A and B are shown apart, each in its own frame.
Chain A
Amino acid sequence: MAGIVPPTMGQKGQETTSSKVEEKVDYLNLPCPIPYEEIHREALMSLKPELFEGMRFDFTKGLNPKFALSHSVFMGPTEIPSQSSETIKIPTAHYEFGANYIDPKLMLVGRILTDGRLNARVKCDLTDNLTLKANAQLTNEPHMSHGMATFDYKGNDYRAQFQMGNGALFGASYIQSVTPHLSFGGEVFWAGQHRKSGVGYAARYNTDKMVATGQVASTGMVALSYVQKVSEKVSLASDLMYNYLSREVTSSVGYDYILRQCRLRGKIDSNGCTSAFLEERLNMGLNFILSAEIDHRRKDYKFGFGLTVGE
């Protein structure tokens, strides 16, 4: 991921010596960093797959290289948050219709469920460097809808972002590359409705083989993660989440195998929770999904299976 162009080499004798000498870093030509909200991207992809419980069937039909319709059926118990230590699950079933339009400059994704909830996402490149993203979850119930708009500016070796959401929610973040491997960033947010505000800082160090990130926020969260790419097919990841206000800590270790016909991710937690997620490619455009999550402490066992048809 280092964007340094190696100097042209004249003779073979010089080649061996100059490859041993450290490349001189061009500090005016650093690579553009990852967006601030994706700073834990590798760890999130390996350790937090979309686990589900029940049966899931997704069908995506492409009418165009840019335009696709999707139909999705889900039947299974859904957990509702409860105050007691018991988990309360309600069986639900829904059908979701979606439409995607994906263009290099404009992306529109919409999903609507049978109970009237709409999930909408828009991403528009206003200029080469400025991007507008908006997403909204709209429901029929009053006061339960959310919307958020984000302006992203991508500079040479920095990114800046400004967000506004409903309920007087404002946020801004900035991330800068300081060396070809290291980048630092910070964010502030202000929530008018809940009268809360916060500041956070993050750092990310990555090479071709590993990524290490750390994030601290004034809401009490400290998150550290480390991902090591052991080979082309195997990655190992671990992360630690600590809340210094409520003194809770959670740590997890996981693996991510990307094989020719399948992708298998598994993790184990310090809360006594172990999970695995398998996506198996049965045929071109046909994927079989198995998801399992076993929480020994709360005695909550979730198993799910599904089929995905279409790209």
Chain B
Amino acid sequence: MASRVVVKGKGKGGKERRLAEERPSSTAKCVKEWSTWTLKKAKVAVHYGFIPLIIIIGMNSDPKPQLYQLLSPV
């Protein structure tokens, strides 16, 4: 992780400057990684769940259709 970079031997000034530069970019990077992760999970959820969602909403609407009507061609 970027914020855990350990600098050896450069002295105190160098270490503080480097950590100060990395802090704003690490939060932006965290937000970006997190939003990419949620988008990926949302895409998988929509891909597998959209059609079952429509079927559930449709089977619960009035007048309520029977379960066998889902599979029979009549």
Q: Contact residues of A with B, CB < 8 Å?
A: 59, 61, 63-64, 66-67, 69, 97, 99-101, 103, 108-110, 112, 116, 118, 120, 136, 138, 145
Residue ID in chain B nearest A59 by CB atoms: B73
Residue ID in chain B nearest A68 by CB atoms: B58
Kindly identify which residue among A59, A110, A116, A136 contacts B54, using a CB–CB cutoff of 8 Å: A110
Give the distance in Å from the alpha carbon of A145 to the alpha carbon of B69 in the complex.
33
**24 A-B pairs, CB-CB below 8 angstroms?**
A61-B69, A63-B58, A63-B65, A64-B58, A64-B62, A64-B63, A64-B65, A66-B61, A67-B57, A99-B54, A99-B58, A100-B54, A101-B54, A103-B61, A108-B53, A108-B54, A108-B57, A110-B50, A110-B54, A118-B51, A120-B50, A136-B46, A138-B43, A138-B47
Give the distance in Å from the alpha carbon of A110 to the alpha carbon of B63 in the complex.
21
> Main SS of chain B's interface residues?
helix
User: A100 contacts which chain B residues (CB < 8 A)?
Assistant: 54
Give the distance in Å from the alpha carbon of A175 to the alpha carbon of B63 in the complex.
40
Give the distance in Å from the alpha carbon of A212 to the alpha carbon of B64 in the complex.
46
Kindly identify which residue among A99, A109, A116 contacts B55, using a CB–CB cutoff of 8 Å: A99
User: B43 contacts which chain A residues (CB < 8 A)?
Assistant: 138, 145
> Main SS of chain A's interface residues?
strand
Give the distance in Å from the alpha carbon of A116 to the alpha carbon of B70 in the complex.
21
Query: B65 contacts A67, CB within 8 Å?
Result: yes
Taking the closest CB of chain B, its distance from the CB of A167, in whole angstroms, is 12
Query: A99 contacts B51, CB within 8 Å?
Result: yes
Taking the closest CB of chain B, its distance from the CB of A16, in whole angstroms, is 53
Q: Does B59 contact A (CB under 8 A)?
A: yes
Query: A63 contacts B46, CB within 8 Å?
Result: no
User: A59 contacts which chain B residues (CB < 8 A)?
Assistant: 73
Please judge, given known A-B contacts A110-B50, A136-B46, whether A101 and B73 are in contact too, CB under 8 Å: no
Query: A118 contacts B58, CB within 8 Å?
Result: no
Give the distance in Å from the alpha carbon of A99 to the alpha carbon of B57 in the complex.
11
Taking the closest CB of chain B, its distance from the CB of A308, in whole angstroms, is 15
User: B65 contacts which chain A residues (CB < 8 A)?
Assistant: 63-64, 67
Question: Known pairs A118-B50, A136-B46. 19 more at Cβ < 8 A?
Answer: A59-B73, A61-B73, A63-B58, A63-B69, A64-B62, A64-B65, A66-B58, A66-B61, A67-B58, A67-B61, A97-B51, A99-B51, A100-B54, A108-B57, A118-B51, A120-B50, A138-B43, A138-B46, A138-B47
List CB contacts (< 8 Å) of B22-73 with chain A.
Answer: 43, 46-47, 50-51, 53-55, 57-59, 61-63, 65, 69-70, 73
Query: B46 contacts A112, CB within 8 Å?
Result: no
User: B57 contacts which chain A residues (CB < 8 A)?
Assistant: 67, 101, 108
Residue ID in chain B nearest A139 by CB atoms: B47
Give the distance in Å from the alpha carbon of A110 to the alpha carbon of B48 in the complex.
11
Taking the closest CB of chain A, its distance from the CB of B55, in whole angstroms, is 6
Query: B59 contacts A67, CB within 8 Å?
Result: yes
User: A136 contacts which chain B residues (CB < 8 A)?
Assistant: 46
